[in-house]
Structure 1
């Protein structure tokens, strides 16, 4: 009986030691992925052909991991125009560009008289994506054109 008790005690001690050794880790658990959003100031809704609209943007991050990089791309499902960064870089649709910082400005120039929509995508280095859409109605010298009624 004494031998059986010693065996159970030894097995229990070995089990506790194994659990304690496996539970310890010298690695730090560092969170790298944080949610983010793109905040913008109000943007004009009308634009003339050749006119430009300014879009002031700021990344709003829920946490900070310094090695996270942010990128921008855009699509234009309707209309025709040109989007550029404040440093003059003209963005091509669906190409990925590095963001210049957390606060930046975009400039959209209208190249047609139709209603125009642009979709802006901000992507981080962990493939999280935030999308913002902006629509512009055509404006003429006399006022806003109504796309349902032909101009005289």
Structure 2
């Protein structure tokens, strides 16, 4: 009888030791796997939405081009810039009533929704392209062709 009880105690003690080892192992893994730094995603892709614009223009009249940056996620410090290049015709592009853009120069986009104004200066066809980019290297383009 004495032998039977000591065997039972020994088995119970071994099981308890195994449980303690397993718990200790889990605690060690939890401590090692945790990182003290919180990872914040800052780089979100976006789309450039442009409302329909007329296909023909009259020299001197302003064509309004409503644009919207549609973000897939939001990071408060994301900054967008715009540049353009006109490869046919003569005209000027600007943010609303601001100064005309110079080709291939970066300009700050003031908000997610903005309006570009294009003022043609000649009767021939007008073709230009705009690029909107963020500071993370994401970039979208749009091409305009006015007759």
Shorter-chain TM-score tier = 0.7 to 0.9
**Map 1:10-29 → 2, pairs under 5 A:** 20-29=30-39
Give the Cα–Cα distance (whole angstroms) in 1 for the partners of residues 120 and 137 of structure 2: 30
1:33-62 CA-to-partner distances (Å, cap 9, x unmatched) read 111111111101101222221101111000
Is the aligned partner of 1:84 residue 2:101? no
Query: Unaligned stretches of 5+ in structure 1?
Result: 1-14, 138-152
Q: CA deviation at 1:67?
A: 0.6
Q: Superposition RMSD on alpha carbons, in Å?
A: 2.1
Does structure 1 conserve the Cα–Cα contact (< 8 Å) formed by 2:94 and 2:117? yes
Q: By percentage of residues, which structure has more helix?
A: 2
Following the alignment from structure 2 to structure 1, what is the Cα–Cα distance between the partners of residues 61 and 109? Answer: 24
- The question of whether the paired residues in 1 share the 8 Å contact of 2:83 and 2:106 is answered with yes
* Correspondence for 1:42: 52
Q: Deviations over 1:54-98 (max 9, x none)?
A: 101111000000011000100111111100111422111100010
CA drift of 1:17 comes to 7.8
Structure-1-length-normalised TM-score: 0.75
The SS at the match of 1:47 is: coil
Q: Which residue of 1 aligns with 2:77?
A: 67
**Ranges in structure 2 where 5+ consecutive residues have no aligned partner:** 1-24
Kindly report structure 1 stretches of 4+ aligned residues shifted beyond 4 Å: 15-21
Larger CA Rg, structure 1 vs 2 = 2
Give aligned pairs, total: 127
SS of residue matched to 2:36? coil
For 1:135-150, what aligned pairs fall within 5 Å after superposition?
Answer: 135-137=145-147
| 1:29 CA drift (Å) | 1.4
State the alpha-carbon separation in 2 of the partners of residues 87 and 116 from structure 1: 20
Q: Which one has the bigger strand percentage?
A: 1
Whether 1:55 aligns to 2:68 is no
- Paired residue for 1:114, among 116, 124, 131? 124
* In 1: Cα distance, 2:26 partner to 2:71 partner: 43
